[in-house]
Amino acid sequence: LKQAREARPDYRMRSLSMERRGKLLEAYREADRRLLLLDYDGTLVGFRARAESAVPDARLLELLKELREQPGNTVVVISG
């Protein structure tokens, strides 16, 4: 088990450096059109033993709505 755990990819969230974050925000603001591909299971909503219990909370739904309503944004949630 220890070997399997050490061999698997590290999926923990990594933070962007301030420099990269700034470049990303600048590119976002300057773009006329944006495609946002967002992973659902394990990213937007934590992993669940039963898929039907992986339900988005009200705050997530509001954030997705705000992103969708910004001119030029296309938001796609990917699952599976």
10 catalytic per annotation: no
State the catalytic residue, choosing from 10, 32, 39, 57: 39
Amino acid at 18: M
Q: How far apart are the first and last CA of the chain?
A: 26
- Active-site residues, by number, are 39
